[in-house]
Amino acid sequence: MKIDILLDVKTTLGEGPVWDLESQRLYFIDSMDGRVFRCTAEGTELRAWDVPGKIGSMALRKDGSGAIVSLDKGFHLLDFESGDCQLLHDPEPGMDTTRLNDGKCDRRGRFFAGSMDMMEEGPKGALYRVDPDLSVTKVDDGIICSNGPCFSPDDRTFYFTDTWTGEVWAYDYDIETGAVSNRRTFAKVDTATGGAADGATVDAEGYYWLALVYDGRLCRYAPDGTLDREIAMPVKKVTSVQFGGPNLDVLYVTSMAKPPLPRFPGDGVLRGSLFAITGLGIKGLPEPRFGG
């Protein structure tokens, strides 16, 4: 196994890596600076798009023209050609203390993204589903900080975490309707050294990979919720993970250069870098596109 710096971009809050199998490009975001980045598997041909607000996550659209993005004030559609970012729906109008955060698509093109309390203290957030017909449905609530949404390879389980509960949850998932049910604890997160659950992905073997922000660890959980493997990273504030590369066997890891609140720790000179881990012997799954 080898950990390399793919890009030393010093993202204030790097998040949400998305590998596009069709274009062979990696997308990732800077949540606090409101920016979407794109590069090759080797970190070349870097370009960026500005969006009108903080951004929590993105998913590419099925026609390749742009992406659905979850901004601090609503779901938007970003056009890559023009750079325009059009409001689709604000599910929390008038709520000045919350913003939309992490999100992922299922294999029918539905986009799931949750919101968070910007002080990361109270259960003010909720989980939403955006269907290909652009309708928006609330599917859960009472969440402090939404993170780590993912789907099992058989489409029967939806994973999700509320960062500060110390748990990863699993729901029964109905791929035909997009409904979630039977929420239960999938895994307990080791928070003894100050870490907390952040972004996640599921590999081709059905194992759940989780970034432990503020603790500098990546954790791989088996389908039964047991801890299978840990990787220590060169920085503490790792934020999210995604498999990519031509063979889907490179694990891309985002990080943050500056913590969002004063109570969170700083980091070393590599803070805010985008990392690439090779030699794991594990492959990921193609990331689905948004159907709208």
Model confidence pLDDT, tens digit, residues 215-250: 999 999 999 999 999 999 999 999 999 999 999 999
Looking at residue 135, which CATH number applies to its domain?
2.120.10.30
In a domain, 47, yes or no: yes
In a domain, 285, yes or no: no
In a domain, 284, yes or no: no
CA–CA distance, 277 with 284 (Å, rounded to integer): 13
33 is in an annotated binding site: no
Per-residue pLDDT of 151-206, as tens digits, reads: 999 999 999 999 989 999 999 999 999 999 999 999 999 888 888 999 999 999 99
In a domain, 33, yes or no: yes
- Which is the catalytic residue, given 117, 140, 198, 249? 198
In a domain, 224, yes or no: yes
Which range of residues forms the domain containing residue 20?
A: 2-278
In a domain, 87, yes or no: yes
| Structure token digits, residue 234 | 């060169």
Whether residue 133 lies in the annotated active site: no
Residues with Cβ within 8 Å of residue 233, at least 6 apart in sequence: 3, 216, 217, 218, 253, 255, 275
Per-residue pLDDT of 5-57, as tens digits, reads: 999 999 999 999 999 999 999 999 999 999 999 999 999 999 999 999 999 99
The model's pTM is 0.97
Pick from 214, 212, 281: nearest CA to 243: 281
99 is in an annotated binding site: yes
In a domain, 231, yes or no: yes
182 is in an annotated binding site: no
Counting Cβ atoms within 10 Å, is residue 246 exposed (0-12), middle (13-18) or buried (19+)? exposed
Number of domains comprising the chain: 1
In a domain, 11, yes or no: yes
147 is in an annotated binding site: yes
